[in-house]
């Protein structure tokens, strides 16, 4: 486990450049005798590889397990894992990449144990571009035979299963005004930056009462200090626990932009970008019983949790599959202080095997 995990985190895989990890995973599985395939999702979402898919074990799988190969690292970063007292960290100059290479490592080690001839099977999926809007799974076809999807991508306690998550929609708000010389004739201009300021001051940014969020992430525009700016673009996202909640938040953005433009004489355009739906596994769903029995087999306490992030399994939930997220441990993901205990990766492997044995 230690060797596999360290091998993986040393391979650079920023979103859209997951090929090195995909080749490692393919070679690992094919040495165990499994057949793999890489789909065409890479071509469709601008990655240098597609999702890698393998059937593990014997028979026709009923369940799929997913972990994503990309991380939030910069393409120039070299991750140097440091293991001390059973805890993995980077050397402090980069992220570690346990999100989600811990999930990848756990699945690979589970595949190794299943290669000895255990009778059950599962579909293992190693996805791309999760960190850029769950893009890879949008083009993933896992077939009609699969009933259950377990998405291994959460930093909670081992045995915590995500049964509810936020969905999101990215948006781009373009504000168009009229340029003018800021000293000679400012009255002839329509100030896009002033309009954006009005919008920002009125939007309910941050956590909303319904548990969702609204955020503005980047702003670009303007041309020179002495020119009344004619154009400005604001990029943000809204999240919610229902599609209705997400649409209501977008309507707030639209109405706020309309209000600001009436005051300043500017125009606006609101465009949607990437999105992922919210999901909620209903009480009594078969997948919950399957997870509970898998925990019992593995000696792990079962629990369900809500996450305020968005998991890629939600996209497959929208297609009719029963979905749960699996927490695989770790702390401080997406930061240079990120860490994970090797025992957490081992327990995730045991949990995967326990669930498969109950299929």
Question: How does pLDDT run across 251-299, given as a tens digit for each residue?
Answer: 999 999 999 999 999 999 999 999 999 999 999 999 999 999 999 999 9
Of 203, 176, 201, nearest to 190 (Cα)?
A: 176
CA nearest 233: which of 220, 250, 223, 216? 220
**Domain at 186, CATH number:** 3.30.70.360
Name the pTM for this structure.
Answer: 0.91
Helix and strand numbers (H, E) in the chain are: 9, 19
d(CA 58, CA 53) in angstroms, rounded, equals: 15
- On whether both 285 and 161 belong to a single domain, the answer is yes
Q: Which of 243, 275, 307 is the last residue of a domain?
A: 275
**pLDDT tens for residues 54-104?**
999 878 899 999 999 999 988 788 999 999 999 999 999 999 999 999 999
pLDDT value of residue 120:
82
3-state secondary structure of 357: helix
Q: How many domains does the chain have?
A: 2
Domain boundary among 259, 275, 291: 275
d(CA 169, CA 236): 9
Beta-bridge partner residues of 148:
63, 322
Burial (CB count within 10 angstroms: exposed 0-12, middle 13-18, buried 19+), residue 3: exposed
Q: Which of 253, 275, 297 is the last residue of a domain?
A: 275
Which ranges of the chain have pLDDT less than 70? Answer: 116-119
Q: Are residues 156 and 39 in the same domain?
A: yes
Residues constituting the chain:
359
Q: How many CB atoms lie within 10 A of CB 342?
A: 19
Same domain? 41 vs 67: yes
CATH value at residue 343: 3.40.630.10
∠ CA 156-158-160, nearest 5°, is 65
Task: Write out the residue range of the structural domain in which residue 196 sits.
Answer: 168-275
Question: Looking at the structure, do residues 269 and 194 belong to the same domain, yes or no?
Answer: yes
pLDDT score for 117: 64
**Residues 157 and 178 placed together within one structural domain of the fold:** no
Same domain, 245 and 209: yes
Domain check: are 248 and 320 in the same one? no
User: Which helix (DSSP H) or strand (DSSP E) does residue 255 occupy?
Assistant: helix 243-264
Query: Does one domain contain both 82 and 222?
Result: no
158 and 173 in a single domain? The answer is no
Dihedral over Cα of 126, 127, 131, 134: its sign: negative
What's the pLDDT score for residue 14?
95
Q: What is the pLDDT of residue 309?
A: 86
Inter-residue contact 11 to 23 (CB < 8 Å): no
- On whether both 265 and 283 belong to a single domain, the answer is no
Q: Are residues 161 and 175 in the same domain?
A: no
- Identify whether residues 216 and 113 lie together within a single domain: no
Tokens of 142: 């896992």
């Amino acid at each position: 486990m230690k060797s596999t995990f360290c091998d993986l985190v040393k391979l650079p895989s920023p979103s859209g450049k997951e090929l090195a990890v995909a080749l490692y995973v393919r070679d690992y599985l094919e040495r165990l005798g499994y057949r793999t395939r890489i789909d065409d999702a890479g071509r469709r979402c601008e990655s240098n590889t597609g999702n890698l898919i393998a059937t593990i074990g014997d028979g026709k799988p009923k369940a799929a397990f997913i972990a994503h190969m990309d991380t939030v690292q910069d393409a120039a970063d070299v991750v140097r894992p440091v293991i001390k007292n059973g805890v993995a960290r980077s050397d402090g100059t980069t992220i570690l990449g346990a999100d989600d290479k811990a999930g990848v490592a756990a699945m690979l080690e589970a595949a190794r144990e299943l290669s000895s001839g255990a009778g059950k099977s599962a579909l293992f999926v190693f996805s791309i571009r999760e960190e850029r809007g769950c893009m890879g799974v949008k083009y993933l076809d896992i077939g009609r035979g699969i009933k259950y999807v377990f998405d291994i991508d959460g930093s909670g306690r081992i045995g915590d299963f995500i049964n509810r998550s936020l969905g999101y929609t990215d948006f781009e708000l373009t504000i168009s005004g009229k340029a003018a010389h800021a000293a000679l004739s400012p009255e002839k201009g329509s100030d896009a930056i002033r309009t954006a300021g009005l919008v920002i001051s009125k939007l309910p940014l941050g956590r909303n009462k319904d548990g969702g969020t609204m955020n503005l992430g980047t702003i670009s525009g303007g041309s020179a200090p002495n020119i009344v700016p004619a154009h400005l673009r604001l990029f943000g996202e809204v999240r919610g626990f229902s599609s209705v909640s997400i649409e209501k938040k977008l309507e707030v953005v639209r109405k706020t932009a309309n209000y600001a433009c009436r005051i300043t004489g500017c125009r606006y355009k609101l465009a949607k970008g990437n999105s992922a739906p919210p999901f909620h596994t209903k009480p009594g769903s078969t997948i919950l019983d399957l997870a509970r029995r898998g925990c019992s087999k593995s000696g792990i306490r079962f629990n369900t949790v809500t996450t305020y992030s968005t998991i890629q399994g939600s996209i497959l939930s929208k297609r009719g599959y029963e979905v749960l997220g699996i927490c695989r441990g770790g702390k401080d993901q997406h930061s240079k202080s990120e860490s994970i205990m090797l025992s957490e990766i081992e327990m995730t492997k045991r949990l995967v095997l326990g669930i498969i044995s109950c299929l």
